[in-house]
Homo-oligomer: A and B are copies of this chain.
Amino acid sequence: MSKQPVNRQWLLARRPEGAVKPCDFRYREGAIPTPSEGDVLLRTLYFGYDASQRIWLTEDGGYMPPIRIGEPMRAMGIGQVVESHDPAYAAGDLVEGFMSWQDYAIVRSDGPMPLRLLPKADYPLSWNLGVFGVGGLTAYFGVTDGLKVKPGDTVVVSAATGATGSLAGGIAKALGAKKVIGIAGGPEKCRWIVEKAGYDAAIDYQNENLDARLAELCPEGVDAYFDNVGGDMLDTLLLRMAPRGRVLICGAMSSGYTDVKLKGPSNYMRICTHMLTMQGILLFFYRDQLAEGAQQLGRWVAQGKLHVEENLFEGFEKAPELLPTMFSGKKPGKLLLKVADPT
């Protein structure tokens, strides 16, 4: 395997204030790192975009250590092993996991999530970052284990065109939900939700009254709500939950994940008076079940029950400019950047 002479990198130049901007990163051509005991040296092929990248950019970092100034930006990615000092991986293997915006990255399997070895498959390699990656698996464990969706349930999903939300509806339908409703902004996205992503109905929160539409579509209340948005939307939904309803806290897109202190859900006492359950989802806690989840997702895709949508760009130079679009009306589906082909 021939190494490129340079290692292109996008480093964090400064901690973003408010919305993340391309100029928060700076380009550098560095040396290809030398792996030590236990390290795996990868050539990166694809980067996925996730809203949680904005959280990693805060001082706090959220559930991960924060990215430091001067470090390459962290991202989920697909890579190919160049040199391995970990017996679990061999040169040439294709893997998915935590990487960073550079051509060559060193990864260790003792991190929060080990690198996942990718099987030879007849679907596009990039699907391992989407339907079989963080988005798909979060939707899978969120709907099955978190929300425990069962036949007959009425299910609502916010940010329903996102990498996770676009799959959560189909998963709920596959489990027998009676009615699955997606929330998104604008008529075009709402049409996509119903025509492509398999939702029974859509609510355009920008142009419709969310509460009135929920009352109309869910006269007996919402059994399960997959929340990617938080804020006022979560508060509105809390008042529309059926007794013993379940709420999954998956994200808070309404906050933009900036450093701004979040507004808590003021209607949270509905948890008490309607005996609701509000639960979180973080894939780290499912690390031993990921392969099983991906297999089930694969069966549903093969059966035509899940619609896979990619929003694929190409070229290492585009890495920073795509990140802000996560928070400002990107197209439906998984946002991805291809930077190289496997050998």
Contacts and interface: CB of A to CB of B under 8 A. Distances in A.
Interface of A: 62-63, 230, 235, 243-244, 249-252, 261-282, 285
Given A249-B269, A270-B280, 6 more contacts: A62-B273, A264-B266, A275-B281, A275-B285, A276-B280, A278-B278
A268 B265 contact: yes
Contact of A266 (B263, B272, B274, B278): B263
Interface residues of A, dominant DSSP: loop
A67 to B, nearest CB: 16
B280 A272 contact: yes
A268 B282 CA distance: 14
A281 B285 contact: no
A272 B285 contact: no
A259 to B, nearest CB: 13
A269 B235 contact: no
Contacts of A235: 264
A169 to B, nearest CB: 20
A137 to B, nearest CB: 14
A285 B245 CA distance: 12
Closest 10 CB pairs of A and B: A264-B264, A63-B273, A272-B280, A271-B280, A278-B278, A264-B265, A264-B266, A275-B280, A249-B271, A249-B272
Given A273-B280, A275-B282, A285-B244, A267 B268 contact: no
A251 B268 CA distance: 11
17 contacts: A62-B269, A63-B274, A230-B269, A243-B285, A250-B272, A252-B272, A262-B267, A262-B268, A262-B269, A263-B264, A264-B267, A265-B265, A272-B281, A273-B280, A275-B279, A275-B281, A276-B280
Contacts of A261: 266
Contacts of A272: 249-252, 280-282
A275 B145 CA distance: 12
